[in-house]
Amino acid sequence: MKYLRLASASLFVFSSIFMLHTSGANATTAAVTVGSTPVGVWVDSATSYAYVANAADNSISVVDSKTNAIIAKISVGAWPNVVTGNPITDMIYVTNLYGGTVSVIDGSTETVTGTIQIGNTPGGVGVDDSTNTVYVTNSSTGVISVINGQTNQVISTVRAGITPAAMAVDPTTNQIYVPNQGSNDVSVIDGKTNRIVATVPVGINPWDAKVDTATGLVYVSSNSAQSSIYVIDERNNSVVNVLNGVANEQNIAVDSNTNTLFGTTSGGPIFVVNLSTGQLSLVAAGCGTTDLDVNLATQILFATSSCGNSLLVLPESLLPNPNQRTLAVSNTTLTANVGTPVTLTTSGGSGLIIPSFTVTGLGCSISEGQLQASRFTTCVVTATNPANGYYNAAISAPQTFHFFIPQSTLTISTAKFNGVAGAVIKLKTTGGKGSGSVGYSVVGANCTLSGSNLSASGSAQCVVTATKAASGVYGLAVSVPITINFSLAAQSILRVANHVLKGVSGSPIALTASGGSGSGELTFSATGTGCTVNDQLLTDTSPGKCSVQVTKAASGIYAAAVSSSVNFTFTRK
């Protein structure tokens, strides 16, 4: 919401990105006369009360939207401009442009309970109801005032860009988005630290901002001939989309329940954007519309109109029906065997998703979302999601499915189902039909498949599946998986290789080995009274015999190996 709203002639430029619909009939069901020059409105969805800022007579009109009756008129500061509230505390905040103040209204009594001095030209105001913190823009100084909602005291200030006007607060992330009209960007404030954490460039004269907490997207209008609505992703604070449509957008509102954006256009008609499809509609709703808000509980839109000093009531159900998001048959596998049902799936659509399907093709039928064929054929399927809520019906593009005659059972007929690491097992199959090629896939640690050759780089359990491709009238055939086990290979014969097997007690003999395979570590062991091995040196502390073995550890494709025992004889010195 901007700090000053002026009605003016409007030029409408429509981009080809949008589908444009116009509503010639006036969608308004009621026009409630309020005060002089209504320029701002906020709706409390919990109470269904609408608070209207009447700039020229310095008042707030309180409208019970259930009855469209004015239940209170409250005097505030000079030229009240923007109004918002905290639905948790039931406190309403009004910026007074010429008075440099914020009026605080208690929604339970509809009386002013406080006036907060802010500074020059207070404009936009937003509330983080999760922290009970109020944020106010000062357009002439570029400063954001931070107010404690419990004490009504200014507790901090944050310098934004040039001419900040509006305010959008996300209480789920504690982030505040401030469009800066003079610097053509959006300041992002971290509400936990009250510091600027990002500055997001947008188009010329960014005017208003609204957060869709359901999607984490921020929408920023542009009051210029650019005809742009900028979409900022809160996750990375960058522009992720630009919706082009109407020139000179001003104030906007978002209904996250219907995924719809509403906006005013320099005193012209209200525009409506289906955020799922990008469809744009224009609604004739009187003249001089300046601000708007939506009751999220009832899906009723309220707009201030300066022409008749009135609050316009526009049920969303009477607005032009938006198209659903693009509906598609979303199956990724489009081939099947005759007699095998295919469960049909869809993506897209809006509102209530209850698609129905139709099919054309010889031998094709659909029952309870299952597509079947009684012969080799091609089936063309179309999905329809019915009109529901505010949405028109949606019809998908046709999707083609191919049905084939099943092959005979495909079986892996390999001669060996056990092998040794490092050796190759040749895979073979029996069964199947047609000329389709046969391929194999394998799952398992240390398993390697090259064409039809299976091998392993270590001990392994390899689960192999064969596939025979579709060909002619025959569909794809897949075998039952089989398991082929690989054990480690035996090393070549390992020996204690010493030629001299006699020694003197107390004098060490260096042990050697031959044979074995791989890179495993050699370890010698000895048995016998007084026999020890240290660093491959055999020592006997007393005369006698020592029985020695060598072990080579497993490595790579090889299992561990142990040599035969060799006896060494030690005599006295």
Give the Cα separation of 134 and 344 in Å (integer): 50
If one counts every other C-beta atom within 10 angstroms of the C-beta of residue 242, the result is 17
CB 254 within 8 A of CB 210: yes
208, 214, 216, 221: CA torsion to nearest 10 = -20
CB 484 within 8 A of CB 419: yes
pLDDT for position 9: 27
Domains 328-404 and 411-487 share a fold: yes
3-state secondary structure 19-35: CEEEEEEECCCEEEECC
Note the pTM of the prediction, 2 decimals: 0.60
pLDDT for position 388: 78
pLDDT for position 284: 64
Distances from the Cα of 44 to the Cα of 84, 187, 255, 274, 416, angstroms: 9, 27, 13, 23, 76
Name the CA radius of gyration of the chain, rounded.
Answer: 40
User: How much of the chain is helix, strand and coil, in % rounded to 5?
Assistant: 0, 55, 45
User: In terms of C-beta density within 10 A (0-12 exposed, 13-18 middle, 19 or more buried), how is residue 509 classed?
Assistant: buried
**113-150 tens-digit pLDDT:** 999 999 889 999 999 999 999 999 999 999 999 999 99
Nearest CA to 257 out of 222, 291, 218, 213 is that of 213
pLDDT for position 12: 27
CATH architecture of the domain with range 495-571: Sandwich (2.60)
316 phi/psi in degrees, rounded to 5: -60, -30
CATH architecture of the domain with range 328-404: Sandwich (2.60)
Tell me: domain 20-318, CATH 2.130.10.10, correct? Answer: yes
CB 81 within 8 A of CB 98: no
pLDDT for position 569: 96
Non-local CB neighbours of 206 within 8 Å, separated by 6+ positions: 179, 180, 181, 184, 185, 186, 220, 221, 222, 223, 230
Give the Cα separation of 415 and 417 in Å (integer): 7
Q: Catalogue the long-range contacts made by 227-234 (C-beta closer than 8 Å, 24 or more residues apart).
A: 227/13, 227/14, 227/15, 228/202, 228/203, 229/261, 229/263, 229/273, 230/186, 230/202, 230/203, 230/206, 232/177, 232/186, 232/200, 234/170, 234/173, 234/175
pLDDT for position 28: 55
CB 404 within 8 A of CB 474: yes
Give the Cα separation of 430 and 484 in Å (integer): 17
**222-271 tens-digit pLDDT:** 988 877 899 999 999 999 999 866 778 789 999 988 888 999 887 567 88
CB 178 within 8 A of CB 198: no
Edge-first strand order for the sheet with 80-86 is 80-86, 91-96, 101-106, 111-117
If one counts every other C-beta atom within 10 angstroms of the C-beta of residue 433, the result is 17
The full DSSP string for 119-135 is: -S-EEEEEEETTTTEEE
pLDDT for position 416: 87
Which DSSP category does 560 fall into?
P
Q: In a 3-state reduction of DSSP, which class is residue 281?
A: strand
pLDDT for position 322: 66
Q: Give me the CATH topology for the region 411-487.
A: Immunoglobulin-like (2.60.40)
In this structure, the strands spanning 418-420 and 411-412 are unpaired
pLDDT for position 389: 66
CB 382 within 8 A of CB 371: no
CB 398 within 8 A of CB 382: yes
Q: In a 3-state reduction of DSSP, which class is residue 317?
A: helix
Q: In a 3-state reduction of DSSP, which class is residue 361?
A: coil
Which DSSP category does 164 fall into?
B
Give the Cα separation of 336 and 208 in Å (integer): 53
Give the Cα separation of 404 and 433 in Å (integer): 12
List per-block mean pLDDT (blocks of 10 residues) for the chain, which spans 573 residues.
34 29 51 94 96 97 95 97 97 95 97 94 96 96 97 97 95 97 97 97 94 94 87 96 80 90 80 82 74 92 89 82 84 94 94 93 96 96 87 92 96 91 95 95 96 94 96 93 96 96 94 96 96 95 95 95 97 86
Sequence spans of domains, the chain:
20-318, 328-404, 411-487, 495-571
Query: Which H helix or E strand runs over 545?
Result: strand 544-552
CB 116 within 8 A of CB 73: no
Give the Cα separation of 450 and 168 in Å (integer): 60
266: left (phi over 0), alpha (psi -120 to 50) or beta: left
pLDDT for position 258: 84
